[in-house]
Amino acid sequence: MLPLAVAPPRRSPAPVVLAAIRRSTRAVLRTPALLVAPVAQSLFFLLVYAGQLDAVGGTYLDGTSFIAFLLPLILLTGVATGAGAAGTLVLGDITSGYLDRLRLAHGSTTPFLVGPVVAALIAVVLQMAVTVAGAALIGYRPASWPGVAGMLLLMLALGLGVALLSMALAIRSASAPATNLVTLAVFGLSFFTGVFAPVDQLAGWMRVIATVNPLTYIVDTARQLGGGTSLTAAPVGVAAIVTLAVAGTAACALALHHARKNR
Give the domain ranges of the chain: 15-261
Per-residue pLDDT, 4? 46
Per-residue pLDDT, 93? 81
Per-residue pLDDT, 10? 54
As a whole number of angstroms, the distance between CA 212 and CA 19 comes to: 42
77 Cα distance to chain centroid: 9
As a whole number of angstroms, the distance between CA 16 and CA 20 comes to: 6
Long-range CB contacts for residues 104-112, cutoff 8 Å, separation at least 24: 106/16, 109/256, 110/256, 111/13, 111/16, 111/17, 111/20, 112/16, 112/20
- By three-state DSSP, how is residue 41 classified? helix
Note the pLDDT tens digit of each residue in 86-119: 999 888 888 877 666 766 655 566 767 888 999 9
Q: Residues with Cβ < 8 Å from 195, sequence gap 6 or more?
A: 73
CB 225 within 8 A of CB 208: no
Per-residue pLDDT, 105? 58
As a whole number of angstroms, the distance between CA 34 and CA 56 comes to: 34
Per-residue pLDDT, 103? 64
Per-residue pLDDT, 99? 67
As a whole number of angstroms, the distance between CA 33 and CA 134 comes to: 20
Per-residue pLDDT, 255? 87
Per-residue pLDDT, 7? 45
Per-residue pLDDT, 100? 62
Low-confidence ranges of the chain (pLDDT < 70): 1-13, 98-100, 102-109, 111, 262-263
Q: Residues with Cβ < 8 Å from 177, sequence gap 6 or more?
A: none
Per-residue pLDDT, 108? 61
One DSSP character per residue, 100-136 reads HHHHHHHS-SHHHHHHHHHHHHHHHHHHHHHHHHHHH
What pTM did the predictor assign? 0.88
